[in-house]
Amino acid sequence: MTTAAPVFKNSIGGIWQAAHDGRTFPNYNPATGELLGHFPLSSSRDVDDAVNAARLAFARWRLVPAPRRGEILFRVGELLSRYKEDLARTMTREMGKVLNETQGDVQEGIDMAYYMAGEGRRLFGYTVPVELPNKSGMALRDPIGVVACITPWNFPVAIPTWKLFPALIAGNTVVLKPASDTPHSAQRLVEILYEAGLPEGVVNIVFGSGQEVGESLIHHPDVSVISFTGSTESGRHVAVEAAQALKRVSLEMGGKNAVIVLEDADLDLAVEGILWSAYGTTGQRCTACSRLIVHRDVQDRLLEKLVPRIEGLRLGDGLDEQVDVGPVINASQIEKIHSYVEIGAREGATLVTGGERVAEGELANGYFYRPTLFKDVRPDMRIAQEEIFGPVLSLIAVDSFDEAIAINNETKFGLSCAIYTQDINKTQRAIRDLTTGILYINSGTTGAEIQLPFGGTRGTGNGHREAGIAGLDVFTEWKVVYTDYSGKLQKAQIDN
């Protein structure tokens, strides 16, 4: 007997409700093609309701003492821990990455909940000595209002929490628009927030397309901040539109991250880092390694070790614990990946392994792509410059450390970078000269500690950071307060 796929709802003002016009869209498992559920295909009317609910809730939430807001986030951390396994399975089903990765994704949300709960007892501002006697000066963080969070599908729990939790602890209220490919993980996150005791309307979730729900949020006059993570193309559009309305925008976008392997590197260690950074999450991380910059002296030895490991990666449904690499997210993504492989071959790169879709046996109904490696890649080739967002790695051989640094720095992106060397002097030079938001020394290009700022330089972002104390900046406004307790107009005030 087959059971009908469940129908989910938006949460607006704490009430789960269908879209105004009742439209829905389906959500499928990319490993099996199974229909998982239906979600509201919302319109600008639903966005209006959600923003209005968030605006009303802001009047109360901003007055809740930050330590109390932190207690709710602490409970969210506890609940996420309790539901971790279940949430990870939900995520693997709708997004495809393997279970230990989806567990890691939820864990980042747990870490962020506890970290931001602690911020509720700090939210440090500062005081400074002022020029005059009997006068004080201080700066404190004020919340801004209604925040729109627009999130991608590759980290369906972690990335929403990187936006929601700092926004909430600072006293803002939120409308979340999750990626259409991963609505269920976001729906569960919002359920958990309410189970933890969040007051009604403080977080609202509206499902639907970027073109309709996303656009309506960007243009809504009562949305004060837009926090966006996604592709460079969409991010640029969000930035241009939001600039017209003079809205504050935080953008986290694409990457073209490199692992640099120098001639003195521990090659076994490097192979582990490369493998995980390039093919983990099927290459669908903004921090994924897609360029391998290798000193020519060790290229052959590295390939001898790396290629069998790539070919040994097991593809399949991420729910199977024997599987290393899950499917890619959808049909258009697999086509995009394959088109880049064709471009690479046309441009003259040598295909070492992979380069094809796998659709046989148990994999017949999913979007599986064989982990792929090119060598003889020139830095100006499109496969070395453009974000592919799939399991495709391009090896560029170099003759010196200087050349490796120059190649790393010559892309329009600047999110993460890794270097393998045993020479401490070279690590110091790497720290000084590599243009990157995040540098890993002797480990792969991925993995974030939520205590530290996350984000990239150049075309990866617009200068904001998520996580750590820096993650509060986009959601707070500095308010400066001077108090004069002299009781009279002081002479220096007149002189100034």
Ligand X SMILES: O=C(O)CCCC(=O)O
Contact 233, 256 (CB under 8 A): no
Among 62, 89, 135, 237, binds ligand NDP (CB under 6 A): 237
- The interface with ligand NDP within residues 276-315 (CB under 6 A) comprises 286
Contact 270, 368 (CB under 8 A): no
Residue with Cβ nearer ligand X (151 or 421): 151
Q: Which of ligand X, ligand NDP, none does residue 446 bind to, with CB < 5 to 8 Å depending on kind?
A: ligand X
Give dist(CA 54, CA 69) in Å, integer: 16
Considering the complex, what minimum distance in angstroms separates the CB of residue 454 from ligand X? 7
Q: Which of ligand NDP, ligand X, none does residue 447 bind to, with CB < 5 to 8 Å depending on kind?
A: ligand X
Residue of 101, 108, 119, 252 marked catalytic: 252
Q: Kindly give the residue spans of alpha helices, DSSP state H, lying in 196-295.
A: 215-219, 232-244, 267-279
Considering the complex, what minimum distance in angstroms separates the CB of residue 4 from ligand X? 34
Residue 11 DSSP SS3: strand
Considering the complex, what minimum distance in angstroms separates the CB of residue 360 from ligand NDP? 27
Q: Check residue 333 for interaction with ligand X (CB under 6 A).
A: no
Among 446, 460, 462, 476, binds ligand X (CB under 6 A): 446
Contact 155, 461 (CB under 8 A): no
Q: Check residue 211 for interaction with ligand NDP (CB under 6 A).
A: yes
Among 287, 290, 394, 462, binds ligand X (CB under 6 A): 287
Residue with Cβ nearer ligand X (40 or 254): 254
Q: Check residue 169 for interaction with ligand X (CB under 6 A).
A: no
Give dist(CA 284, CA 333) in Å, integer: 10
Q: Check residue 161 for interaction with ligand X (CB under 6 A).
A: no
Place of tokens 């005791």: 197
Q: Check residue 231 for interaction with ligand NDP (CB under 6 A).
A: yes
Q: Check residue 475 for interaction with ligand X (CB under 6 A).
A: no
By CB neighbour count within 10 A (0-12 exposed, 13-18 middle, 19+ buried), where does 379 fall?
A: middle
- The interface with ligand NDP within residues 139-168 (CB under 6 A) comprises 150-155, 159
Residue in 395, 153, 391 with CA at minimum distance from that of residue 291: 395
Place of tokens 């939900």: 90
Q: Within the chain, how many helices (H) and strands (E) appear?
A: 15, 21
Give dist(CA 370, CA 324) in Å, integer: 12
Catalytic residue check, 360: no
Q: Check residue 285 for interaction with ligand X (CB under 6 A).
A: yes
Q: Which of ligand X, ligand NDP, none does residue 211 bind to, with CB < 5 to 8 Å depending on kind?
A: ligand NDP
Give dist(CA 432, CA 425) in Å, integer: 11
Q: Interior CA angle at 193 toward 192 and 195, to 5°?
A: 60
Residue in 162, 180, 174 with CA at minimum distance from that of residue 204: 174
Residue 443 CB coordination number (10 Å): 17
Considering the complex, what minimum distance in angstroms separates the CB of residue 457 from ligand X? 15
Q: Check residue 303 for interaction with ligand X (CB under 6 A).
A: no
Binding site for ligand X (CB under 6 A): 108, 154-155, 285-287, 446-448
Catalytic center residues: 252
Positions in the binding site for ligand NDP (CB under 6 A): 150-155, 159, 177, 179-180, 209-211, 214-215, 218, 229-231, 234, 237-238, 252-255, 286, 387, 389, 415, 456, 460
